[in-house]
Amino acid sequence: MLVMQGCFRCGLYWQGLTHDLSKLSPVEFWAGAKYWQGTCSPNNAQRKAEGYSAAWLHHKGRNKHHLEYWIDYAPNGDHAMAGMRMPNRYVAEMVCDRIAASKNYKG
């Protein structure tokens, strides 16, 4: 709800309504149900328990408001990773998401 409110304040109505819908996918939903603690991200808890977070790997690859979505092999072909330009509307959604997460997890 906090992300939606933040997005609405920025005029990002569709992004506010559709933010993080991938969390309803089985890989993200079941990890969230299993590892939810209320004090930290279930992805962090899954990572501690299993050595990696399948939910996070799924999530960051489908949600453009995560900067990790925009990392790819560099276009020069040397197999190095590089960041791509992130559109401003996703930067704004990312800021709304980070503010909401900090309020949810740290009060």
* pLDDT tens sequence across 1-32: 999 999 999 999 999 999 999 999 999 999 99
- Give pLDDT, residue 79: 79
Nearest to 55 by CA among 30, 77, 72: 30
Task: Please enumerate in sequence order all residues whose Cβ is within 8 A of that of 17, keeping only pairs 6 or more positions apart, or say none.
Answer: 4
Which region, left, alpha or beta, applies to residue 71 given φ > 0 means left and ψ of -120 to 50 means alpha?
Answer: beta
Report the first-to-last Cα separation within the chain, whole angstroms: 15
Provide the 3-class DSSP secondary structure of residue 1. Answer: coil
- Give pLDDT, residue 107: 58
- Give pLDDT, residue 66: 97
Nearest to 10 by CA among 68, 102, 66, 91: 91
The answer to whether the beta carbons of residues 83 and 95 sit under 8 Å apart is: no
- Give pLDDT, residue 78: 80
Low-confidence ranges of the chain (pLDDT < 50): none
pTM of the model: 0.87
- Give pLDDT, residue 106: 76
* Backbone φ, ψ for residue 41 (5° rounding): -65, 135
